[in-house]
A = this chain, B = another copy of it.
């Protein structure tokens, strides 16, 4: 028995075509133009001209921070981070982490994200939340260095334990990455141990890189070397690697990233909001790098709507470089789908509507006024699409959300718990 979404505008080969998607269990069985062949046991949903496309992929997030969004607005970055965020993150209980990540996941599900990367701690809690939500997730225990070697050792041990336990869990819905927080927050010795762990476990690495000018100065002062040559010397780039931000890069840095095929998580909204800067994305694309999209945590965004990130990526660089031909809408949509999959080393699993891929897809209404006229469907979706246009979200062939209703999460309870916990944190 197959489940067929019919009479859809289906995203095939960078364009929308009238057609259908057939799912069987957790897999995509067939994608085609026109009308499907329907077997006697097949279930057919007529989606009446709605867009059907791969679920969006958010490649950089810290979901429990959702409880902190709106705190310290307008403060300078250093004070926001040191006086507002860090003291409150230190207060987050396991229950806070649980309800914070559930709020984030509910928000992602209803705005069309099917896969997210979470860099945080207490991953056993986040794992339980992902089990419940039905999303696909890449979990990475973010490790910040410590003066105390036993603290670092405990973090490494924890990262190893959760990685062994969860990699491939929930029928493959969970994969793991190893995550040093950043070059400026980990010592060389700690970074080496982390790289070694990733090698021992055969897992990719994800880290923050070149988000702010300040962090690059910190490393330079400490190591008497620029950050990227320093990380190259440590062997980081020999690991499969996803870096978040990549805002401040020299010519040579860019060459290095391209040479090692480092995957990029472009977080345009967060980079703007925190005053970090604007990443040189068109140049990185010219060099052949894989550019995916991330929201970062809600405290610096302040939401998880990847349509907004897509639109920002499509608009920002045209204006910055004064060239309207940069980042075509097709390119922006690819960033949020196929490139997102590649950034998470899941390019053979998700990010594309084709036989043999996991059935992770979203159904988006195309009948709102901003979609009229339909001269260019991809442009309409990228420039006018909003998370609120999402009608349905499917992961592994399972419907998680349909027309305003969550099928896996109790959003009333989540709202209640989040409000309650946020009060204490304020």
Contact = CB atoms under 8 A, between A and B. Distances in A.
Contact of A269 (B273, B315, B326, B388): B315
A74 B272 contact: no
Interface in A292-347: 301-305, 308, 311-312, 315-316, 318-326, 328-329
A140 B421 CA distance: 52
Nearest to A78: B324
Interface in A190-213: 213
Interface string A210-225: 0001000000000000
Contacts of A369: 103, 106-107, 110, 411, 414-415
Contact of A426 (B75, B326, B375, B389): B375
A401 to B, nearest CB: 12
A319 to B, nearest CB: 3
A24 interface: no
Contacts of A107: 369-370
Interface string A379-420: 110011011110000000000000000000001001100110
Interface residues of A, dominant DSSP: helix
Given A372-B415, A418-B372, A320 B379 contact: no
A302 B74 contact: no
A74 B325 contact: yes
State which size class the interface on A falls in: 35 or more
Contacts of A80: 324
A138 interface: no
Contact of A375 (B70, B303, B321, B389): B70
A229 interface: no
Contact of A316 (B110, B272, B329, B376): B272
A118 to B, nearest CB: 17
A311 B268 CA distance: 13
A258 interface: no
Nearest to A100: B373
Interface stretch (A56-64, A177-185, A274-282): A274-282
Contacts of A312: 315
A323 B76 CA distance: 7
B74 A315 contact: no
Contact of A303 (B324, B370, B422): B370
A318 to B, nearest CB: 5
Interface in A116-162: none
A71 interface: yes
Given A318-B272, A319-B278, A386-B388, A77 B372 contact: no
30 contacts: A69-B379, A73-B329, A73-B376, A75-B324, A75-B325, A76-B324, A103-B372, A106-B369, A271-B319, A272-B315, A272-B316, A272-B318, A273-B318, A273-B319, A275-B323, A275-B324, A275-B325, A276-B322, A277-B322, A303-B383, A305-B370, A305-B386, A308-B311, A369-B411, A372-B422, A373-B422, A373-B426, A375-B426, A386-B388, A388-B389
Interface of A: 67-71, 73-77, 80, 103, 106-107, 110, 213, 268-269, 271-278, 301-305, 308, 311-312, 315-316, 318-326, 328-329, 367, 369-370, 372-376, 378-380, 383-384, 386-389, 411, 414-415, 418-419, 421-423, 426
